[in-house]
Amino acid sequence: MKKIAVSLGDLNGVGIEIALKSHEEISKICEPIYCINDKLLASAAKLLDVDIPKDFRTIEMDADFEIRPSLIDAKSGKFSYESFIKAIELCEKQDSDALVTMPIHKEAWSLAGLDYKGHTDLLRKYFKQEAIMMLGCQEMFVALYTEHIPLKDVSKNIKQDKLESFLSDLDNSLEKAKIAVLGLNPHAGDNGVLGNEEREIEAAIKSVNDKIGYERYEGCLVPDVAFTPDARKNYKYYVAMYHDQGLIPLKALYFDESVNISLNLPIVRTSVDHGTAFDIAYKNKAKNISYINAVKSALSLCNKE
């Protein structure tokens, strides 16, 4: 069976609960390696009042702090970073075939002095490659052209050359299917009446389609009708210009099932598509559908390599 390194995310959140409750099912399809030490695992299991499975494989980590459910904490933030780095290293050493991540808390990373905006940003800088963040499930996937940046900065990032590079990398990462590209403005700009960004997008689409030799990308689609039932009959993959443009419809339709996939990297990495859920941490209420799907997606990507 394939080996999957699992980084546990922020231990003050729901990640460790999901890992423990999912272990029996996950261990039937892969060999999970949990990037947590035995002491912290025992503390979390005690708080959850659950038994630790006998085959729950951990690794050596120099981390020791008090788990404080639902609190934003620098020590927990630092651990989630170290767990992630350990999982990356396992993949680099080929001791693991893929990496699956539990949710971090970005403010906790900031309190720990970590200058990253999240997992994908760290991966991009770690590997010095333009990682692509794509989220979704078998029914629909959304790739984000811009991710965790302020909305006021999105427009200035809509440039033909940058879009061409993004679309080319995405083309090399996905199966050969039509991909819908959203416009930025209402009505996709109405031919320049509501903005000129669509001209940059359309020029990038034409250039990339010409290079790859067929109409891979279609757009610019009007954003407010791109996700209607009729529209979704035509597309499985979408490119959104900014975070909420793509993730609001995705999460409205497929919140529990969706996963996060990092494309254009030398390792396979998937993640749950939800946050730390501090409001339900250590209450044994966390759902595990996204995690199960993230593991299955990682295995599927491993098999395609």
pLDDT at 192 over 90: no
Residue 189 has pLDDT above 80, yes or no: no
Number of domains in the chain: 2
Q: Are 127 and 262 members of one domain? A: yes
Give the pair of three-digit tokens for residue 27. Answer: 């261990």
Q: Which neighbouring-strand residues pair with 264?
A: none
Contacts of the segment 114-119: beta carbons below 8 A, 24+ positions apart: 114/77, 114/78, 114/81, 116/81, 117/147, 117/148, 118/147, 118/148, 119/84, 119/260, 119/262, 119/269, 119/271
Regarding whether 289 and 205 lie in a shared domain, the answer is no
Report which of 88, 162, 156 is spatially closest to residue 122, judged by C-alpha positions: 88
Q: What is the pLDDT of residue 237?
A: 97
- Return the CA Rg of the chain: 20
Residues 123 and 155 in one domain: no
Examine the domain organization and report whether 25 and 104 are in the same domain. yes
Q: What is the DSSP string of 154-187?
A: TGGG--HHHHHHHHHHHHHHS-S--EEEE-SSGG
Parent domain of 22: 1-132+258-305
Average pLDDT in the chain = 95
Tell me the average pLDDT across 149-173: 96
Instruction: Categorize the per-residue pLDDT at 195 as very low, low, confident or very high, splitting at 50, 70 and 90.
Output: confident
Q: Tell me, yes or no, whether 176 and 113 share the same domain.
A: no
pLDDT for the residue 131: 95
Q: Are residues 249 and 264 in the same domain?
A: no
| Domain CATH code at residue 201 | 3.40.718.10
- Does residue 115 share a domain with residue 2? yes
pLDDT tens for residues 234-259?
999 999 999 999 999 999 999 989 99
What is the per-residue pLDDT across 71-130, written as a single tens digit (0 to 9) for each? Answer: 999 999 999 999 999 999 999 999 999 999 999 999 999 999 999 989 999 999 999 999
Q: Say yes or no: 121 and 10 in one domain.
A: yes
Distance of CA 219 to the CA centre of its chain: 24
At 265-284, the pLDDT tens digits run 999 999 999 999 999 999 99
Q: Does 304 score more than 80 pLDDT?
A: no
Q: How does residue 303 score in pLDDT terms, banded at 50, 70 and 90?
A: confident
Q: Do 1 and 119 fall into the same domain? A: yes
Kind plus residue range of the DSSP H or E element containing 205: helix 197-212
Residues 181 and 203 in one domain: yes
Is the pLDDT score of 188 beyond 90?
Answer: no
Q: Do both 154 and 175 map to the same domain?
A: yes
Is pTM beyond 0.95? Reply is no
What is the reported pLDDT for 305?
Answer: 60
